[in-house]
Structure 1
């Protein structure tokens, strides 16, 4: 049971720790500084719960690294393994700076200064990921009553110093293929591509789905009569070993979607299914049939790295200085939708963007052709006025 008392204008609690010999914490755990008795009671309840669950750590011995590793174990019970991996990578940048420093000694100045230094090396998005991870760690420490103040409160995201060279180098047009370039690439792929290359890159370009979503597709996701593909999962395999993959839920709730496909893609899938059935018969002693569309000769889904390598080799045959990744076909699909007259909402739903801002950012970058056409139409309309 906890007891409460008032010291001047603030309240304090005192929690009796009956297992102090086992958990090596103080026999009485006290804390003051609460504005009301209600606040003190809520804080004491957290301590009592943590004591009962054995999750309250000894403050004097807790380094940032120890607590961060405890936090990531807790975090792993709440989210997908891919999220845990991303947070663990970001966390290393914080541990490298404060690993052996007691958690309670990390100040706002220390936090802001370290992120400012990291900002000189990494992209804005990656800095945001590191800060988000740090914020989650310190918030968890607050909930555990291990620190009195969160050093991430008041943090200001540093701005990236943009140089003239950065502006000149930033060319969104180099990250996707125009219609004529896509035609050239698919022609090259059809002539020089290996098994499933043509189907893979046509699917990416014609649907705008993420590479992991495509690799995870099963025949049960494809409806030939309705001409639709149902996207409900994504492929996760950081080790790039054929048998080490996992199928996870998609990136966001909006990513679960059904998209229409045209007759050309339907025809490609039907041809591929016939070839796959023949392969299964030839490989029936070793083929592990899990119903994947993009399956290798043993039935396992194709690994992401293999698709990336095939793309690099095929791009070398094109006369272009563009660096196109598998994700670039998602941008390519977006640009084609814009030229076809699709609205922002339609694009958002087809691509499975959870945040409309994501769609708008891409939309804003890719309306060059539409803007030029609009400008030309305006000039033609008004040429007789002056």
Structure 2
């Protein structure tokens, strides 16, 4: 569920891991981003830090499909809480966590991601952060503007977004050239 959320939203790994149930707004299908996880810190008072930049504070719109999956995920988490009773760390209220309610470690997530990639037949090395880049490229390919992507990813400026993503997708180049070609045909008629 974590990896699905990352690829569908473009959140940074630490932003997603810091999500608590109250950060999920299923009425408006938004995720509120206002903190990041300090990895391997078990003290709840020190577990969260500020996001990477001022513009990283944001609300990210999610589609109905992801909202439904997250709702089911939260319900399953509540069932686990009930079964584990006193062994469950309730105070974290994290959306993505180990079975006992504590946050995942970086190494656990990386090993899980590598296993998933292998099962999917992906042989090229992809990092978890690569899911953020994949999300941005998919947005570009779907026709989203750089400004929209900048705001969605929480980049400090549109220049950062443009520098990172404008040259990535061959599909965008082909689509743009196709649109230009069609436009020129109409102009010449």
Misfit runs of 4+, over 4 Å? 380-385
Corresponding residue SS for 1:293: coil
For residue 233 of structure 1, report the CA deviation from its aligned partner. Answer: 0.5
For the residues of structure 2 that align with 1:346 and 1:259, how far apart are their CA atoms? 11
Encode CA deviations 1:28-68: one digit per residue, 9 max, x unaligned.
Answer: xxxxxxxxxxxxxxxxxxxxxxxxxxxxxxxxxxxxxxxxx
Counterpart position of 1:276: 77
Task: Tell which structure's C-alpha radius of gyration is larger.
Answer: 1
List alignment gaps of at least 5 residues for structure 2: none
Counterpart position of 1:226: 28
Encode CA deviations 1:62-84: one digit per residue, 9 max, x unaligned.
Answer: xxxxxxxxxxxxxxxxxxxxxxx
How much is the aligned-residue C-alpha RMSD, in angstroms? 1.9
Change (3 A) 1:360 1:217: same
Contact 1:242 1:302 in 2 (8 A): no
Question: Within 5 Å, which residues of 2 pair with 1:4-153?
Answer: none
Corresponding residue SS for 2:52: coil
Alignment counterpart, residue 118 of structure 2, candidates 303, 307, 316: 316
Encode CA deviations 1:248-300: one digit per residue, 9 max, x unaligned.
Answer: 00100000101111111111111111111111111012111121111222211
Encode CA deviations 1:217-273: one digit per residue, 9 max, x unaligned.
Answer: 001101111111000100122xxx473672100100000101111111111111111
Encode CA deviations 1:147-171: one digit per residue, 9 max, x unaligned.
Answer: xxxxxxxxxxxxxxxxxxxxxxxxx
For the residues of structure 1 that align with 2:145 and 2:182, how far apart are their CA atoms? 25
Contact 1:296 1:302 in 2 (8 A): yes
Counterpart position of 2:107: 305
Counterpart position of 2:66: 265
Change (3 A) 1:349 1:280: same
For the residues of structure 1 that align with 2:167 and 2:119, how far apart are their CA atoms? 27
Matched, 1:216 2:15: no
Change (3 A) 1:357 1:380: closer
Counterpart position of 2:132: 330
Alignment counterpart, residue 346 of structure 1, candidates 141, 148, 162: 148
Corresponding residue SS for 2:119: coil
Matched, 1:373 2:175: yes
Matched, 1:251 2:71: no
Greater relative contact order: 1 or 2 (C-alpha under 8 angstroms, separation 6 or more)? 2
Contact 2:117 2:123 in 1 (8 A): no
Counterpart position of 1:355: 157
Contact 2:10 2:131 in 1 (8 A): yes
For residue 382 of structure 1, report the CA deviation from its aligned partner. Answer: 4.5
For the residues of structure 2 that align with 1:232 and 1:383, how far apart are their CA atoms? 49
Counterpart position of 2:38: 236
Contact 2:41 2:47 in 1 (8 A): no
Normalised to the residue count of structure 2, the TM-score between the two structures is 0.89
Question: Within 5 Å, which residues of 2 pair with 1:196-211?
Answer: 199-211=1-13
Encode CA deviations 1:66-117: one digit per residue, 9 max, x unaligned.
Answer: xxxxxxxxxxxxxxxxxxxxxxxxxxxxxxxxxxxxxxxxxxxxxxxxxxxx
Contact 1:211 1:304 in 2 (8 A): no
For the residues of structure 1 that align with 2:183 and 2:146, how far apart are their CA atoms? 27
For the residues of structure 1 that align with 2:33 and 2:184, how far apart are their CA atoms? 47
For residue 380 of structure 1, report the CA deviation from its aligned partner. Answer: 4.6
